[in-house]
Amino acid sequence: MVVLKFGGTSVGKPERMKKIAELVLGTPGKKIVVLSALSGTTNTLVAIGDHLLAGQKAKAEEETANLEKHYQSFIKELYASESFQAIGQEIVSRFFIFIRMLAAGQFDNKGYRELLAQGELISTELFYQHLQERRITARLLPALYFMSIDENDEPELEKISERLKPLVSSLTNIDIVITQGYICRNNKNEIDNLKRGGSDYTASLIGAAIRAEEVQIWTDIDGMHNNDPRIVKKTIPISELTFDEASELAYFGAKILHPSTIVPAQKYNVPVRLKNTMDEKAPGTIITGKGAAPGSFKAIAAKDGITAINIRSSRMLMAYGFLRRVFEVFENHKTSIDMITTSEVAVSLTIDNALHLPSIENELKKFGSIEVDKDQTIICIVGQKITEQKGVLKKIFEALGDVPVRMVSCGGSTNNVSVLVEKQYKE
């Protein structure tokens, strides 16, 4: 079985949705199709939710009405016959009645998450009806039946697998199973999500849960490029990556993949292929566990919004147990640490989630003096066993020239050297 995931731009226009039906039909065997919301929808739902939380109902209604118009014109182009136009109309009306119901009630974080789930719920229904109109047999399998996260927001892969396997095998003689990316249930059984860009993660979790032959991520670019094409000109696609390399790139900012996408696939050795919906002949990128030959630099990614925290304590740093106590502060605040460097008198570390920064700072003050630098960027340089090769750091530092470097991390993984710079130097 193959898992095919189509991102927002791949389903964002009626003609693209028709195109992905062709791509699905052209893939032999049984497949699970994971869809994102139409491009722009989740952003708009976030905006509506923010307005509602801020008590700005009129602004929320304005956004809602615009989004509804967008869907009205979408279905006009998607469906050919009058009867399916009517079905499309019914779907859109039902969703927007529900969105307005959410908006009219006591809107809280639970309602917010329900609102965010509507994008994937509607895109999958619209696509399913498109296949129905073309008399293509398929089934809709709600992700909320099987996709779940625990109290730490971590996907419960084993449970997902236990639920999904019988569901999929109950669909005998069905080659196309459609489900929603991004959405899930949390440990309170409420509707939740896998964070922005999470449909990639859904696809990989499903691929691991059913031990798929392959997970294909179809997007608007011909694979993982060697640098961020939104910032750097003349980037080129990379044909092969190892799980480790791809994982580092995704985690450190390559937007083409949700940061955690590779983890489940790697666990069960399921290859992940990145493909371009607009150019299906392009080879894309294949990500596997095959050990690539040690080579030179393969790719660079950057992660913004990093906060660096320096804890200086001549008294305590050398004492055993000191780092454990520092790490405990972050653990207690459910904040993960990305980079860390130590000297005899100080330790510097970075976090990407500054939600609990004020109380983290307060607790760290017990250990010594604290310095915080916001708006930092991690630049992550990736290549197979690059840290074991001669002259690698020299080349990196030559390239950095006069750019002031706040931290360097090398040796944690053999595939990656990371440097922390102020965001203004990122480009």
Residue numbers of the site for ligand ASP (CB under 6 A)? 7-8, 36-37, 42, 119, 181-182, 196-199
- Residue 119 interacts with Mg ion (CB under 5 A)? no
* Nearest-angstrom CA–CA distance, 152 and 344: 34
* Nearest-angstrom CA–CA distance, 181 and 205: 10
Distances (CA, A) of 143 to 33, 235, 331: 11, 35, 30
Taking alpha carbons only, the member of 379, 361, 378 closest to residue 370 is 361
* Nearest-angstrom CA–CA distance, 376 and 381: 16
**CB of 388: closest distance to ligand ADP in angstroms?**
24
Residues 6 or more apart whose Cβ sits within 8 Å of residue 158 = none
- Pick the closer one to Mg ion by CB: 88 or 264: 264
**CB of 221: closest distance to ligand ADP in angstroms?**
4
**CB of 222: closest distance to ligand ADP in angstroms?**
8
- Pick the closer one to ligand ASP by CB: 181 or 383: 181
Where helices occur in 105-228 by DSSP H, the ranges are 109-133, 157-170, 199-209
- Pick the closer one to ligand ASP by CB: 109 or 343: 109
Residue 228 partner contact from ligand ASP, ligand ADP, Mg ion, none using kind-dependent CB cut-offs of 5 to 8 Å: ligand ADP
| Contact by Cβ (8 Å): 241, 224 | yes
Residue 181 partner contact from Mg ion, ligand ADP, ligand ASP, none using kind-dependent CB cut-offs of 5 to 8 Å: ligand ASP
Near Mg ion by CB under 5 A, which window of 128-136, 190-198, 265-273, 313-321? 190-198
- Residue 111 interacts with Mg ion (CB under 5 A)? no
Number of helices (H), then strands (E), belonging to the chain: the values are 13, 16
- Pick the closer one to Mg ion by CB: 7 or 207: 7
**CB of 347: closest distance to ligand ADP in angstroms?**
31
**CB of 381: closest distance to ligand ADP in angstroms?**
13
- Pick the closer one to ligand ASP by CB: 123 or 377: 123
The footprint of ligand ADP (CB under 6 A) covers: 7-10, 36, 197, 219-221, 224-225, 228-230, 254-256
**CB of 319: closest distance to ligand ADP in angstroms?**
42
Near Mg ion by CB under 5 A, which window of 6-14, 119-127, 146-154, 268-276? 6-14
Residue 221 partner contact from ligand ADP, ligand ASP, Mg ion, none using kind-dependent CB cut-offs of 5 to 8 Å: ligand ADP
Report the first-to-last Cα separation within the chain, whole angstroms: 41
- Pick the closer one to ligand ASP by CB: 139 or 255: 255
At residue 137, the 3 state secondary structure works out as coil
- Pick the closer one to ligand ADP by CB: 31 or 275: 275
**CB of 135: closest distance to ligand ADP in angstroms?**
28
Torsion of CA 204, 205, 210, 211, to 10 degrees: 50
- HEC letters along 32-48: EEEECCCCCHHHHHHHH
**CB of 224: closest distance to Mg ion in angstroms?**
13
Residues 6 or more apart whose Cβ sits within 8 Å of residue 134 = 21
- Pick the closer one to ligand ADP by CB: 111 or 207: 207
Phi, psi of 207, deg, nearest 5: -55, -40
**CB of 7: closest distance to ligand ASP in angstroms?**
6
Within residues 7-36, the interface with Mg ion by CB under 5 A covers 7
- Pick the closer one to ligand ASP by CB: 42 or 335: 42
Going 62 to 63 to 68 to 70, the CA torsion angle's sign is positive
Query: For 179, left (φ over 0), alpha (ψ -120 to 50), or beta?
Result: beta
Please pick, from the candidates 197, 207, 253, 264, the single residue that binds Mg ion as defined by CB under 5 A: 197
In 13-101, where do the E strands start and end? Answer: 31-35
Binding site for Mg ion (CB under 5 A): 7, 197
